[in-house]
Every structure is written in C-alpha cells, then in structure tokens.
Amino acid sequence: MPAVPNPVVIATRNAGKVKEFEAMLGKLGLEVQSLADYPAIPDIPEDGATFRDNAIIKARAVAERLNRAVIADDSGLCVDRLDGAPGVYSARFAGEQATDAENNAKLLRKLQELAPESAWPQGADAADGTSVELLSAARFVCVLALVVPGKEQPVTAEGNCEGFILGKSRGDGGFGYDPLFYLPQLGQSMAELSLEEKNRLSHRSQALKRFMELISH
C-alpha cells in the first residue's frame, strides 16, 4: 500500500489492540510497530470531545515525535440505556487507572441501578443452549486516524459493531468490555470469539476496511 509508508506505528501500548492490527495489517504487507517499541514517548492526553478528535490528537502527537506514519484509534462502548456512556471515557469509566474488571463492574452496576423498563431486561438463548440476560442495546465504535508526516490532512474512518450488554460476563478472550458484549447473530460474547472471528466482525475491523478503501483511491 504505497499511501502508507512502512513500517507503520500504531499509537497504543494495548497488547490486545496491537494483536488485532498485526493480524489485519500484516496481510497487506505492512510491518506494525507500537508504542511499546518507543518507551520514551509519554502518554498522550485524550481530551477530545469525540472518538475522531481523540484519534487525530494521538496520531498527530506521535507522528510529530517519530517522523513516521502513525495510525491511532479511539474506540469505546456506547450503551443505549446509559445515553451513550461510557463513550470516549470507556477506558477510564471507573477511574483513570481502572482495570477492565473495574470498568465492567461499574457498567453492570449502572445498568442494574436503572428503573426497569418494559423492554428490559430481556433474555436470549446463547449458542451453547444456555439462557442469557440482556440489559441494554449497545455498540462498539472505533475511529481510525492516519497521519503521515508532510501531509496536512489525516485520513479517518469509523466502524461500528452492534450488540447487547450481558447481565454477566461470558468468555475469557479479548479485552475491555468484550466479555459483556453479546452478538445475537452468533449467540456469543465478543470474548468467546476466536481472533479471526473477532477481526471479521469487530468495530476495529469495520473501521479498517473503510480506512483501506479510502487510502487506496
């Protein structure tokens, strides 16, 4: 892909995200590096109002420091019954240094504290035949931003993955809110999918597909 100089730096230290980018971008002949390869780069403040703002802020900051092509993503979970929260605060929903388990626990607590609505909670049957409780419709959102030194305008693309929030965790794969995010078409949580399945369906995968379409024109 001539529009993306090799190697490309992914502006994250999240090992789970790096794995997903390696699996997807490696097929295109792109060598993937991450901020784990550049420990001197400090954390970039994510103070934008939207996922797109944050992705561009991170990509620009790292590209300026390294003088390399940088892809940054900002992604998160938007829950209907919480009016779109945690949104851009997904990684720090339970505090600045919150763990995945703490964020998941707060999400469940917030949903369980809500006054019942006629449509919630709902039930469904999982692929393994067990019944699951669904607390709200939700979606994962990802915005990718590519900044190439010498080019003024970043390239951005958005992807979404629709699903529901489970009443309790399922699966031990993935990261973040994956154990609570249920895909009704598969009867599984995101954490129960193989890496290949997740890469095919995830919000990050959808954003990357749109992103590659944009930079190939």
How far is C-alpha 96 from the chain's CA centre? Answer: 18
Query: Can you say which residues are annotated as belonging to the binding site for substrate?
Result: 12-17, 75, 175-178, 198, 203-204
Residue 48 lies in a domain: yes
Stated as kind and residue range, the H or E segment containing 201 is: helix 195-201
- Give SS3 for 183: strand
Residue list for the binding site: 12-17, 74-75, 175-178, 198, 203-204
pTM across the whole model:
0.86
Residue 68 has pLDDT above 60, yes or no: yes
Residue 2 included in any domain: no
Q: Domain with 124 in it: what CATH number?
A: 3.90.950.10
Q: Is residue 134 part of a domain?
A: yes
**Which residue among 37, 47, 74, 125 is the active-site one?**
74
* 50 belongs to a structural domain: yes
Number of domains in the chain: 1
Q: Say if 3 falls within a structural domain.
A: no
* 88 touches 73 (CB < 8 A): no
128 part of the active site: no
Q: Which pLDDT score is estimated for 25?
A: 79
Is 154 within a domain?
yes
Amino acid at position 150, single letter: G
DSSP state of 176: T
**89 lies in some domain:** yes
Known binding residues for Mg(2+):
74
Backbone phi, psi, residue 21, to 5°: -65, -40
Contact 155, 214 (CB under 8 A): yes
Chain centroid offset of residue 76 CA: 5
Asked whether residue 28 carries a pLDDT value surpassing 80, the answer given is: no
Q: pLDDT tens for residues 126-147?
A: 999 899 999 999 999 999 999 9
Q: What is the pLDDT of residue 205?
A: 86
What range defines the domain where residue 187 resides? 8-215
110 falls within a domain: yes
CA distance 141 to 110: 20
Give yes or no for residue 27 having a pLDDT over 80: no
- Residue 88, pLDDT > 90, answer yes
